[in-house]
Amino acid sequence: MSEGTAASATGPGQAQARTVHYLRPGLTSITPHVVVRGGAQFIAFLKAAFEGTERLRMPTPDGSIMHAEVAIGNGTIELSDGSEAYPAAPCAIHLYVDDADATYARAVQAGATSVYSVKDQPWGDRQGAVKDQFGNHWYIAKPIAWTPGPEGLRSVQPFLHLREAHKMVPFLEAAFGAEALGWPSRRRASCCTARCASGTQPWRLTRHTGNSSRCHATCMCTCRTPMRCTRRR
């Protein structure tokens, strides 16, 4: 029986109660999928470095991993072993954690190499970065100078290093209905204005959440001026 058939048979109230969300628990709309060489070793690294919890592992007859999932915080990393058809492809992932210093130290102890040590960053995070033994970059951060919106933080977020990155945003908007959350002055959200206390960086904004009841942003220079939203709601 299809969902539409079930609705006609049980009535709108019961059908609404039986509606199943398309996301499995622990997954978000954007869940990184990492293709590596040595999937089992990568899972061990995620557990040691980021206190990951293995949720699923589907091995192939030769012992390699066809698909696996490791939960980190309120997010998930999907992964598989590379093959001739799907070669290993290192990526970058941004992690928000409760203690950036401790997580960074665990990652290095688990075999990652430091890219830069943890310190207070001008955009309002305490952040460091490492490169794991599989070629992936991890940006490990905790907010210190801004307050997350009511939706909270996602622990696991993909980070794309692109040539001509400005062209990616229009593609994401057109293809997937994405919304730009932070832009330089030429593409700043029209509802928001801010002035830097130093007068030198009036346009560097971050954490614009224009689709919620309130915008959350600060200037990215050292003054960290809160953003003022002018949209009428």
Most confident residue range from 133-142, 146-155, 159-168, 202-211: 133-142
The amino acid that residue 73 corresponds to is G
CA distance 127 to 87: 30
Which of 41, 134, 39 lies closest to 93, judged by CA?
A: 134
Eight-class DSSP state of 227: P
| 124 touches 220 (CB < 8 A) | yes
In sequence order, what are the beta bridge partners of 130? 114, 138
Residue ranges of domains in the chain:
170-233
The DSSP letter of residue 191 is: T
Q: Which of 106-110, 129-133, 156-160, 190-194 has the lowest mean pLDDT?
A: 190-194
Alpha helix stretches (DSSP H) within 30-120: 39-50, 100-109
pLDDT number for residue 179: 84
pLDDT of residue 182: 59
Question: What kind and span of H or E run contains 13?
Answer: helix 12-17
pLDDT recorded at residue 20: 57
Average pLDDT over residues 113-141: 96
Q: Shortest CA distance to 46 belongs to which of 106, 125, 113, 119?
A: 106
Q: Centre a 10 Å sphere on the Cβ of residue 39 and count the other Cβ atoms it contains.
A: 24
Taking Cα atoms as reference points, which of 116, 106, 115 lies closest to residue 51?
106
Q: What is the pLDDT of residues 43-77, one digit of tens each?
A: 999 999 999 999 999 999 999 999 999 999 999 99
What is the 8-class DSSP label of residue 156? E
Which of 134, 151, 169, 135 shows the shortest CA–CA distance to 39?
A: 134
For the segment 164-185, the average pLDDT, to the nearest whole number, is 80
Number of other residues whose CB lies within 10 A of the CB of residue 134: 21
Q: How confident is the model at residue 18 (pLDDT cuts 50, 70, 90)?
A: low
